[in-house]
Chain A
Amino acid sequence: MNQKFTAETFPHNPEKATEEGKNKFLAFWLFLGGETVLFASLFGTFLALRNSTAGGASAAEMFEPKLVFIATMLLLTSSLTSVYAMYHMKNFEHKKMMLWLGITVLLGLGFLLLEIYEFRHYMHEYHFTIKSSAFGSSFYTLVGTHGAHVFVGLLWITTLMLRNGGRGLNLYNAPKFYIASLYWHFIDVVWIFIFTVVYLMGMVG
């Protein structure tokens, strides 16, 4: 599997050009189907418990639109930058792909840091913790699970970049990059529903 490629010989859809690639592509979409049910269970739990504040602060009191908007913009933009990375991968432009993947990671990191700041703010200002009420448990579990997924995604993309930085694109690593970017989009999809259902609906009251 040490085949060296050029722009002329790199296949059209490199992520699906091998049997391994086709299997990984399909299996990852299947996994996303399962993850949809996983997050739906967490969303359901949140929806059932969102008003059970046990006398503590409610969503409307705590959530700040500015913070959520910035976080959303960071993640949404990172989704676009990962699309750019895949665009360059298809064009066999290894260095540009790496650049855009790097920007994706930085934006994702910004998102995570903002979220950590947000959680600490709630815990200090409102004593709103994962144990303080059913609302707290369901909020931190849902949003925290999403955050954990973001964290895993960052580790994943970074590892891919470090491992493949020196050896260019081939049919062994192309499926890996493609799937990592699919994962990254999925995380953004989940965030769309989190900011809508948790934050925006919370602020509506």
Chain B
Amino acid sequence: MGTNTNSHQRNQVEIKYHRRKHAEEMKQQLISFALMIILTLASFAAVLYKDKMDPYFTVPFILLLAVIQLVFQLYYFMHMKNKGHSTPAFFLYSGVTVAVITLLTFLTLIWL
């Protein structure tokens, strides 16, 4: 179970190549983080200045921003854009589907 199936000994060139790739990916992650901060600031701003905006706009807007942040977290921080994630993605989206159905229900089919 714990045996390494990869016994390849890499040379310095390969190591440098992989480090560069990791560093590039890390840069993408930092950009994602910066964008997430901006999205968060935008959401808070939308609420703090809610009197200057149409109320029917504010709530869908901040929900949209949250979904965009979710996409960044999933695809970048959680590596879903990398290969080998098709099965995890399938099951996560199935869970999201059931979750959305549940949320819709609670918003529409419950009243006193």
Residues in A lying within 8 Å of B, measured CB to CB? 1, 3, 7-9, 11-13, 16-20, 25-26, 29-30, 32-37, 39-41, 43-45, 47-48, 65, 69, 72-73, 76, 79-80, 83-84, 87, 90-91, 171-172, 182, 185-186, 188-189, 192-193, 195-197, 200-201, 203-204
Contact = CB atoms under 8 A, between A and B. Distances in A.
B109 to A, nearest CB: 9
Contact of B47 (A25, A65, A79): A65
Contacts of B43: 195-196, 200
Contacts of A9: 7-10
B106 A19 contact: no
Given A1-B3, A65-B47, 20 more contacts: A11-B8, A17-B5, A18-B4, A18-B5, A20-B1, A26-B87, A26-B88, A29-B87, A29-B88, A29-B92, A37-B95, A73-B37, A76-B37, A79-B73, A90-B18, A189-B70, A189-B74, A192-B66, A195-B43, A196-B43
Q: Which 9 A-B pairs have the closest CB atoms?
A: A44-B106, A33-B95, A40-B99, A29-B88, A36-B95, A196-B66, A1-B2, A11-B6, A33-B91
B9 A8 contact: yes
Interface string B3-35: 111111111000100110010011001100100
A118 B99 CA distance: 28
Contacts of B84: 13, 16
23 contacts: A3-B4, A9-B7, A11-B8, A13-B84, A18-B1, A20-B2, A34-B95, A37-B99, A39-B99, A40-B99, A40-B100, A43-B103, A72-B40, A73-B40, A83-B29, A83-B33, A84-B26, A87-B25, A185-B73, A189-B70, A189-B74, A196-B62, A203-B47
A202 to B, nearest CB: 9
Contact of B73 (A37, A43, A44, A192): A192
Residue among A25, A48, A73 facing the most chain B CB atoms (10 A cut-off): A48
